[in-house]
Amino acid sequence: MSASALTCSHSAAYGEAAERLHDRDPEMDEVFKALADPSRRKLLDSLNSKGGQTLSELCSVLDMARQSVSKHLAVLEASNLVTSVWRGREKLHYLNAAPISEISERWINRYHRRRVSALAGLKRALENPSMGGPEFVYVTYIRTTPERLWQALTEPEFTARYWGRTYDTDWRKGSRYGLTQSGVRVDDPEQVILEADPPRRLSYTWNTFSPELAQAIGWSDEYLARIAAESRSRVSFEIEPEEDDTVRLTVIHEGFEEGSAMLQSISGGWPRVLANLKTLLESDEAEPLWACK
């Protein structure tokens, strides 16, 4: 059995752990319930192997009628384990690792070693972003307002605190931006704001990695050469107010080729950045991932 398989033993461990929790959390209860069904775990396995699948593709995974698969997907989306993005007339589905990360961060120390082992295997499976699609999609929910989240994504006093980088721009569509990270300033004419609709949507081309910045963050010359040979990617932030004074933030990073080194890099980086952002907005405590100076 592969390490990434979502087995019945994993499900049993989750169920037992959930029943022993003294602090009931309705959102996490939905995650545990969603993971309890073997068909839904199979869908997660498939999306872990290949992101961006259509309903038709997922129907072939389960060999079920579209209506049945749609019901399973609805449960997974309601628990935030799966997120979807429309591309034209197609709805593409992606695995979202945020709930598993939250389970680990909030409760993993409460569990017996055997349960920790089961959780760790599942956490590794769901945190490894799929490399089968051309984009990275991540969804998180933050107790804040759309306006404050927009500030956190754009204003230097925020980005320096949780990210360790600052942007120099007026955040208008078509404007260029400068970036400072790890004491290195990067200006490039292709660093452009693609869309700005505060406080709902923001999109820009991904920044250039100069030799000085690459050295500051510990990249080798060989790795920088791989990154520099790739087409420039772009990142988008979609901000949607939810009930209970929370905001749904969807990050879509796209424009990659198969086997992209940059996709591999940002797939590990974005969950850390967004976890730090959530911590800052909800508790006013965050340590920058890098020094921006």
For residue 205, give every residue at least 6 positions away whose Cβ sits within 8 Å of its Cβ, in sequence order, or none: 190, 191, 192, 194, 232, 233, 234
The domain segmentation of the chain, as residue ranges, is 8-129, 138-283
Region for 218 from its dihedrals, namely left if φ exceeds 0, alpha if ψ lies in -120 to 50, beta otherwise: left
Thinking of the domain 8-129, which architecture would CATH place it in?
A: Orthogonal Bundle (1.10)
Q: Which CATH number fits domain 138-283: 2.90.10.10, 3.30.530.20, 3.40.50.620, 3.20.20.80?
A: 3.30.530.20
The whole-number pLDDT of residue 24 equals: 52
Report the C-alpha gap between 266 and 247 in whole angstroms.
Answer: 23
Predicted TM-score of the model (pTM): 0.67
**Ordered strands of the 247-254 beta sheet:** 135-142, 247-254, 234-241, 201-205, 184-197, 176-181, 165-168
For residue 3, give every residue at least 6 positions away whose Cβ sits within 8 Å of its Cβ, in sequence order, or none: 121, 124, 125
Other C-beta atoms closer than 10 Å to the C-beta of 231 total 9
The whole-number pLDDT of residue 290 equals: 66
Give the pLDDT means over successive 10-residue stretches in the chain (293 positions): 43 44 63 86 85 88 88 89 84 80 57 47 47 71 96 97 96 98 96 98 97 93 94 96 91 91 90 92 81 51
The whole-number pLDDT of residue 101 equals: 64
Cα-Cα-Cα-Cα dihedral sign, residues 17, 22, 25, 26: positive
| Helical H segments across 92-174, by residue range | 98-107, 113-127, 146-154, 156-162
For residue 52, give every residue at least 6 positions away whose Cβ sits within 8 Å of its Cβ, in sequence order, or none: 85, 92, 93, 94, 130, 132, 133, 134, 135
Task: Give the burial class of 37: count Cβ atoms within 10 A of its Cβ; 0-12 exposed, 13-18 middle, 19 or more buried.
Answer: middle
Contact 211, 169 (CB under 8 A): no
The whole-number pLDDT of residue 104 equals: 59
Report residue 123 as tokens. Answer: 């956490």
Contact 195, 173 (CB under 8 A): yes
Max intra-chain CA distance, the chain: 56
